[in-house]
Each structure stands twice: as structure tokens, then as C-alpha cells.
Amino acid sequence: MMRKAIAAGLACLFSGAVLAGVGVWSGQGPDGGYVFDILQQPATPATLYTSTRSGIFKSIDAGATWSPAMNGIVGSVSYGYPLAIDADATATLYTVDSTGHVYRSSDGAGNWAQTGYVLPPVATIAQINQITDAPGSTTRVYISTVASGILASNDGGATFNALNGSGANQLPASVPFQSMES
């Protein structure tokens, strides 16, 4: 009888959903799954963005609740989306979908639009490591890849050029990059 009461009490205790609280982490991420990137908006610290295997999410209450932020993104969510926020225009974010299309949001992840650039097949989402904002510019952004090295855009993601090559000011060709710091 005592065992049944203890078992019933434990079942009630652990049957509820696990919620993240102040100073407490849950292992599931927003909507369940792995969290790949988490960014804090510099102008509004309670606003957070995260990319997960389930897509991109936004929180406006310091992570207490999360809402999907995928409006306009059409690619698959089979991989974690790399995500970057523009430090000089904090409502502007960048991401890449699983088909290699680069997206920009200028309204804090409310809506996404393709920039017009599509990564080459060798640099698909499985090969994208990171998107990085260039401080001091609202149009310069970098993408680090495994196969194509670092790609740079000076026009808000509409076009990209490899920083790898044979010139004197170029990075070595075919060097994979895991991450960059701005």
C-alpha cells in the first residue's frame, strides 16, 4: 500500500510538463528539440531568438515563452538554421534554410524574405556553420562554410563572394571554417 502511494505521488510529481524558469534549463528547447543558436537583441534584452531543429523561435519575455518565427521561410527544418542579428540594426536578422536560400528579416523575425542569394550545392545547410554580422555596417554579413570557406556580402545578403582564393589578401582556398567572431 505504501509503495503504491509513493509511486502515485512520484507519478503526479513528474507527469507535468517541464518548464524553464529563472535559472532553470529544460532539455527540450522551444517546442522540443535541440537549440543551435540563441541570440539576445541588444536594444531589448528580454527579446531572444533561437534556431532549433524545429525552426526559428522568438521570446519577448526573456525566454519564459517562445513563439514560432518562420513566416516566409519555405525550406525544410531538418537541420538547425544558422541565425545572426545585425548589431547596428537590431530588428534585422539573417538565416539560411535547408535548400541554401539566404533570408533576411527587417522586423525582428516577424516576416522573412529571401535575399535572392542561394548557396552553391556544395555549401548547403549541412555545410553552413555560422552567419556573422559585421559590426559597423547594416549591409555586411559573413557565412562560414565547410566546403567554401568564408563568404562575404556587402549588400544585405543579396550576393556573396568567397574570401578564399589565390590573391595576396585572400584566405587559403578550400579551408573549412567552424566559426567567426564579430
pLDDT at 46: 96
Q: Where are the domains of the chain?
A: 34-162
d(CA 161, CA 181) in angstroms, rounded, equals 19
Beta carbons of 68 and 77 less than 8 angstroms apart: no
**Which three cell numbers, joined as nine digits, stand for 99?**
535548400
Q: Which amino acid is at 179?
A: S
Could you report the per-residue pLDDT of 89-146, keeping only the tens digit for each?
999 999 988 888 899 999 999 999 999 998 877 645 457 778 999 989 999 999 887 7
The verdict on domain 34-162 having CATH code 3.30.70.360 is: no
d(CA 98, CA 132) in angstroms, rounded, equals 18
Contacts of 102 (CB under 8 A, 6+ apart): 94, 95, 96, 114, 115, 116, 117, 118, 119, 143, 157, 160
The structure's pTM equals 0.75
